[in-house]
Amino acid sequence: MTETSGLEDARLAAIGAVVGGDILAADRPALDEAYANLVGGLDRLRQVPLVGEPGRAFTVGWDS
Amino acid sequence: MTEPWALSIDDAAALIGRRELSAGELLASLLERINQTEERFQAWTSIDIEGAMEAARQADQDSANHRKHGWLHGIPIGVKDVIDTAGWPTEAGSRACAGRIPAADAASVAALRTAGATILGKTVTHEFAYGQNTPPTRSPWGLDRYPGGSSAGSGVAVAAGHVPGALGTDTAGSIRNPAAVNGIVGLRPTTGLVNTDGLVGLSPRLDQVGPIARSVTDCTLLLAGLVDDAVRHRLGNGDDPVRALRNRAASHDSVRVGVDRASWAESGVTADVIAVLEEAVEDLRRNGAHIVEVSLPELRIGLPITLVFCLLDASEKYRTLLAARAADMAPGTRVMFELGLVVTDADLDLALNARRFLQQTLRRAFEEHRLTALASPTLPAVAPRLADLATDLTRDGEAADLSGALLLLSPSNVCGLPGLSLPCGKAGGLPVGMHLLGRPFDDLDLLALGYRYEQETPWKTMKPDCWQSVGGEIDLP
């Protein structure tokens, strides 16, 4: 596997284990592009200040 | 007299209540309308004619016996094909679910039946409500135009006069988006308000079932039919939803509406849509609202949060199906499910933290400025031509791209807040929607604000050309 997309072998293997090699190969270009966009999104989330306790339950209302 | 198919829910229910129109007559008119136009619009996956006729017969018999079930007595409703209907196919727009027939109604469908509604059939959805494929549904505003998604069939069925109201689902804008491009009204209710059991959903963190109709009043009636008595009273529209809506609207003289114009520009909103929104904001001001300039650049993180939740939750939910039926899924949908398999717990922690941050930011803005709503365009542009449409949800917006819409709409889903889209004008002959984001569980306030706007502007009556052709050929571009 190439490393050009950033989707490393372990992650590709995890996907291939579910859908099979042929479908993974067919989906690979779109998957690479989508993964690159996900990585960009995660980078933006890393810039968000830490708020509260990790894993704290989320409540929709603003009463608390 | 207005043809029965063209009646609002409110008017049809009143006529049925006075026995000036029967549920059977209303259903027959709608079926004829569908028969005339469905070949072009393809809004439905299936129509339960026999079931609907039986329900209409029962409604009329109950009327004769002075037994009224609720505000939706005898009103036919469309249901997006990701919402379970007992004994009737729910295939989520996917070959991978072909032949799937649920044993029980979704909670939302059961609630509508209890309120007296007739379930007419199932409306077309993007596969698994993911918005990655191109369904056959076509817009009544132009067959070459994007009909909205993922609740495309529900939006088109309502706009084309096939049905006065429909259910959609909204994970990242899929009720409000088709409402906007079809010139109608859609509400994504506060998370938790409507029971989402029985939904072939994507992400319980984001999903919500909600109404699509041709007016704010009709959306209010549908919402009242979707929630239980306790919730209805909590909303403040317990005994008579329309009266409660009007009373709330009448008390809205000091309402404050936030506007963040910088976020419109950052979301790629086109100049013609901005011009329509500026006029809509001015109409709100003329109508008594105090317009408050706000700055919320943090809204942009709604998109990556949505992405992480949606990818992770959907791939967990559909992992078994993906393994068994990958070849039966559209490639775009499949790639999203595949990508979700590599989202990590650390990625989820980032998204959970960002959601808390966004919630705090929005809460602070609403409280500091004492806002009832935050107004924006629903979509960054009018409905693009299908040939120009990009559907990759992971990208960060361009004008003809669905992801631009996600920037505007996803904060509602991420924070569980109500979001209302209602028509506010036209650009280039196509509808433009205004989005109102509200406080949690203040859905009735949001609807009241929309109702008041709707009453003072002409856009509720905006209809596609096909609306005029009754019983004849439709003139479409």
Q: B174 an active-site residue?
A: yes
Helix (H, G, I), strand (E, B) or coil at A43: helix
User: Does residue A60 sit at the B interface (CB-CB below 8 Å)?
Assistant: yes
Measure CB to CB from residue A62 to each of B338, B392, B439 and give the nearest one. B439
Alpha carbon distance B424, B358 (integer Å):
27
Closest Cα in chain A, distance from residue B391 (Å): 12
The one-digit pLDDT tens for each residue of chain A (64 residues) are 334 447 888 899 999 999 999 999 999 999 999 999 999 999 999 999 998 777 667 888 886 5
Which run of H or E residues covers position B304?
helix B302-325
Phi, psi of A55 (to 5 degrees): 80, 0
Q: Show residues of chain B in contact with A62, CB under 8 Å.
A: 363, 366-367, 439-440
pLDDT given at position B400: 53
Asked if A58 has any chain B CB less than 8 Å from its own CB, the reply is yes
Compute the nearest-CA separation of A48 from chain B (Å): 6
Q: Of B305, B356, B417, which is closest to A52 when you measure between CB atoms?
A: B356
Query: Is residue B80 annotated as part of the catalytic site, yes or no?
Result: yes
Alpha helices in B90-137 (DSSP H): 107-114
Q: Which positions of chain B have pLDDT values less than 70?
A: 1, 234, 236-238, 390-403, 469-477
State whether A61 and B394 contact (CB < 8 Å). Answer: no
> CA-nearest residue of chain B to A40?
B304
Angle (nearest 5°) at CA B131 between B390 and B138: 80
Backbone angles phi, psi at B212, to 5 degrees: -125, 130
Task: Compute CA distances B395 → A33, A34, B172, B184, B406, whole Å.
Answer: 9, 8, 14, 27, 10
Per DSSP bridges, beta strands B185-188 and B209-213 are: antiparallel
Contact B349 A54 (CB under 8 A): yes
Residues of B in contact with A35 (CB under 8 A): 339, 342
Q: Are B431 and B181 in contact (CB under 8 A)?
A: yes
Which one is catalytic: B80, B122, B317, B460? Answer: B80
DSSP B199: B
User: Which neighbouring-strand residues pair with B120?
Assistant: none
A-chain CB neighbours of B327 within 8 Å are 23
Which of B133, B339, B442 is the mutation pick for testing A, counting most A CBs within 10 A?
Answer: B339
SS3 for B269?
A: coil
Pairing of strands B419-427, B185-188: antiparallel
B263 catalytic? Reply is no
- Using a CB-CB cut-off of 8 Å, the residues of chain B touching A48 are 301, 350, 353-354, 357
Q: Verify whether the Cβ–Cβ distance A50 to B353 is below 8 Å.
A: yes
For residue B288, CA distances in Å to B7, B30, B283, B378, B444 come to 30, 38, 9, 22, 18
**Interface contact A41-B319, CB threshold 8 A:** no
| Cβ pair A51:B311 closer than 8 A | no
**Any B CB within 8 A of A57 CB:** no
From the candidates B174, B203, B263, B410, give the one annotated as an active-site residue. Answer: B174
Which amino acid does the sequence have at B316? E
CB contact under 8 A, A62 and B363: yes
Residue B402 confidence (pLDDT): 58
Residue type, position B179, single letter: A
Minimal-distance CA residue of chain A relative to B341: A15
Identify the active-site residue in B150, B203, B263, B421: B150
| Contact (CB<8Å) B311/A38 | yes
Instruction: Give the type of residue at B43.
Output: A
Task: Identify the DSSP state of B71.
Answer: T
| Contacts A55 to B, Cβ<8 Å | 349, 352
Nearest chain B Cα distance for residue A21, angstroms:
12
**DSSP E strand stretches across B63-191:** 76-80, 118-123, 165-169, 185-188
- Maximum C-alpha span of chain A: 51
Between A9-19 and B302-325, two packed helices, what is the crossing angle to 10 degrees? 50
**Nearest-angstrom CA–CA distance, B143 and B254:** 42
Question: Could you tell me where the DSSP H helices lie in B341-442?
Answer: 345-368, 402-415
Decide if A42 and B323 are in contact by the 8 Å CB cutoff. Answer: no
pLDDT digits 0-9 by tens, B194-219: 999 999 999 999 999 999 999 999 99
Q: Which two three-digit tokens encode residue B108?
A: 């939302």
> What is the residue whose two structure tokens read 């993922």?
B150
Helix (H) / strand (E) element for B333: namely: helix B331-340
pLDDT for the residue A1: 37
Of A14, A27, A41, nearest to B335 by CB-CB distance is A27
